[in-house]
Amino acid sequence: MIKILIVDDEKPICDLIDINLSAAGYRCSAVQDGLEAIDMIESEKFDLILLDIMLPGVDGYDIMEYIRPLKIPVIFITARHEVKDRVKGLKLGAEDYLVKPFDAVELVARVEVVLRRFHKTQKILRAGDVTVDMEARKVTKAGTPVVLTNKEYGLLVLFIQNKNIALFKETLYEKVWEDEYIADSRTLELHVQRLRRKMGWENNLVAVYKVGYRLELD
């Protein structure tokens, strides 16, 4: 399983990131101190590090200098939004730079992009009795294969990666159809209805009023 280290001095932010990335199938550890982060990096192997800049002990820029020779990809997550801060972070070797506050869906998407760049993608996704083999592009439910169209498969992956998170219709349509969402179109609704039936998620894949849909699973 892909391991991600979250380094942020605000525990609620660490917890929020942990919840969303864990729901997407990643294993997360979190620390709120720069020196503690370095200790973690020395003692464990991580596939990706999400790094704040303003930290007690040692700031994110100094930690980045330490990480760079280890070839571990880093995404800066910080409240600093000025261009000079972004440029500095990227020049130090970060793969991406995400400004707080950010959307959970965007965070997961950026993590996926960086991991793909380093050939460290999640190979298996699970949600209840549903398993998705990302490499083979195969879906099973309770061990039985499920045949999905390309669009249904794209929706399924997005819902599993964002379990218990309300996803906007616009986000779903733009990511799966790679086009701008048309409000009066029933295309998305019909695909979601078919996905519900095929996965047995009539009570789990729920509509969220004036927003979109949410996959509700423990």
pLDDT in tens, 38-91: 999 999 999 999 999 999 989 999 999 899 889 899 999 988 778 887 888 888
Instruction: Report which of 133, 114, 115, 112 is spatially closest to residue 123, judged by C-alpha positions.
Output: 133
User: 102 falls in which pLDDT band (50, 70, 90)?
Assistant: confident
What is the pLDDT, as a whole number, of residue 123? 74
Say if residues 150 and 194 touch (Cβ distance below 8 Å).
no
Higher model confidence: residue 183 or residue 122?
A: 183
Q: What is the pTM of this model?
A: 0.64
Determine the pLDDT at residue 73: 95
Per the prediction, the chain carries an average pLDDT of: 90
Better pLDDT: 5 or 93: 5
pLDDT, position 118? 85
Sequence-distant (≥ 6) Cβ neighbours of residue 32 within 8 angstroms? 7, 8, 9, 10, 11, 14, 55, 56
Collect all residues with Cβ–Cβ distance below 8 Å to 212 and sequence separation of at least 6.
166, 167, 168, 169, 170, 171, 172
Please give the DSSP secondary-structure letter assigned to residue 142.
Answer: T
The domains located in the chain, with CATH, are 3-117 (3.40.50.2300), 124-215 (1.10.10.10)
At 33, is the pLDDT very low, low, confident or very high (cuts 50, 70, 90)? very high
pLDDT of residue 122 exceeding 70: no
pLDDT of amino acid 126: 86
Report how far residue 20's alpha carbon sits from residue 190's, in angstroms, rounded to the nearest whole number.
27
Please report the pLDDT score of residue 206 as a whole number: 96
What distance, in Å, lies between the first and last C-alpha atoms of the chain? 20
Amino acid found at 76? F
